[in-house]
């Protein structure tokens, strides 16, 4: 079930999930074959179906995009944005250790294990990952991340404590 968040002047539909699967110091990254973020590396995830919780959507999307079956994933925060390919959007962030075995690729793009340091700094990843991935992947408390774009370029970012409503399950 999607949650609509707001700042004083804007509403954001939080209707997607993004999950980072880890194995040791590596992160499973998806080289996106289609929009949004076509041609860039990102975590795996997708749209939350009606009457589906964010966690259930995350687990389903991980299975669809990697072939991995997860029992659970750690909630790591909420991200919203304005001025990008999907305007006034948002997603729930998750992290989970990857099960043994190799991922099975899907129509979403190519999967590869990448070192955390690369994920945190490469210009080949979605630009906002540099700002939220270090605390998310290092196990810090969930935060609320907001990004503003103009002409496809990141122009502003804010990090704030996660509103209580998200800690209660949205």
Instruction: Identify whether 169 is part of a domain.
Output: no
Asked if pLDDT for residue 9 goes beyond 50, the answer is no
d(CA 106, CA 161): 35
Sequence-distant (≥ 6) Cβ neighbours of residue 40 within 8 angstroms: 31, 32, 124, 125, 126
Instruction: Identify whether 170 is part of a domain.
Output: no
Q: For 101-118, what is each residue's pLDDT tens digit?
A: 999 988 999 999 999 999
Range of the domain at 138: 3-164
Q: For 85-96, what is each residue's pLDDT tens digit?
A: 777 889 999 999
How many structural domains are present in the chain? 1
Q: What predicted TM-score, i.e. pTM, was given to this entire model? A: 0.90
d(CA 89, CA 17): 11
CATH number of the domain residue 128 falls in? 3.90.79.10
The DSSP string of 97-111 is EPPSS----BTTEEE
């Amino acid at each position: 079930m999607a949650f609509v968040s707001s700042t004083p002047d804007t509403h954001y539909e939080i209707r997607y999930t993004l999950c980072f699967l880890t194995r040791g110091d590596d992160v499973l990254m998806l080289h996106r074959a289609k929009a949004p973020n076509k041609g860039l590396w990102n975590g795996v995830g997708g749209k939350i179906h009606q009457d589906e919780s964010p966690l259930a959507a995350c687990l389903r999307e991980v299975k669809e995009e990697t072939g991995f079956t997860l029992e659970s994933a750690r909630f790591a925060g909420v991200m919203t944005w304005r001025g990008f390919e999907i305007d006034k959007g948002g997603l729930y962030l998750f992290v989970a250790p990857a099960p043994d075995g190799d991922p099975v690729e899907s129509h979403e793009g190519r999967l590869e294990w990448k070192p955390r340091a690369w994920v945190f700094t490469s210009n080949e990843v979605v630009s906002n990952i540099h700002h939220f991935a270090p605390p998310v992947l290092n196990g810090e408390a969930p935060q609320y991340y907001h990004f503003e774009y103009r002409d496809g370029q990141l122009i502003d970012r804010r990090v704030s404590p996660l509103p209580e409503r998200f800690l209660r399950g949205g």
